[in-house]
C-alpha cells in the first residue's frame, strides 16, 4: 500500500511520512497515525496525517511491522 488512498489509512497504523520541510531531501519519518487530515478519498502525493508525536506529513507507505527494524518518533526510515 502506498498511502494514496484514505481507506487504507486509520488511526493507530504505523506509517512512513514525508514532512513538508523534508520534501526537497525526501527524508522519511516513521510514526503512528493519530489523525487523518486529508478529507479526499485519495491524493496523488499521499494522504496527509498527524502522527501521535504531533508531526504532520504525507503518507508515503504503510510501514511493515517487523520487530527491531522500525523505530517510532522521528526515526529516519531511508
Boundaries of every domain in the chain: 6-76
Q: Between the CA atoms of 61, 66, 67 and 70, what dihedral angle is there, to the nearest 10 degrees?
A: -20
All 3 cell numbers of residue 61? 507507505
pTM of the model as a whole: 0.80
Whether residue 55 has pLDDT greater than 50: yes
CATH of 6-76, one of 2.60.120, 2.30.30, 3.40.50, 2.40.160: 2.30.30
What average pLDDT does the structure give for the chain?
87
Q: At 20, phi and psi to the nearest 5?
A: -55, -45
32-51 per-position pLDDT tens digit: 999 999 999 999 999 999 99
Can you give the pLDDT at residue 63?
Answer: 87
Amino acid at each position: 500500500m502506498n498511502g494514496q488512498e484514505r481507506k487504507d489509512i486509520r488511526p493507530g497504523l504505523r506509517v512512513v511520512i514525508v514532512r513538508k520541510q523534508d520534501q526537497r531531501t525526501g527524508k522519511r519519518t516513521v510514526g503512528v497515525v493519530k489523525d487523518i487530515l486529508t478529507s479526499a478519498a485519495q491524493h496523488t502525493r499521499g494522504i496527509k496525517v498527524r502522527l501521535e508525536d504531533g508531526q504532520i506529513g504525507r503518507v508515503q507507505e504503510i510501514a511493515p511491522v517487523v520487530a527491531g527494524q522500525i523505530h517510532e518518533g522521528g526515526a529516519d526510515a531511508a
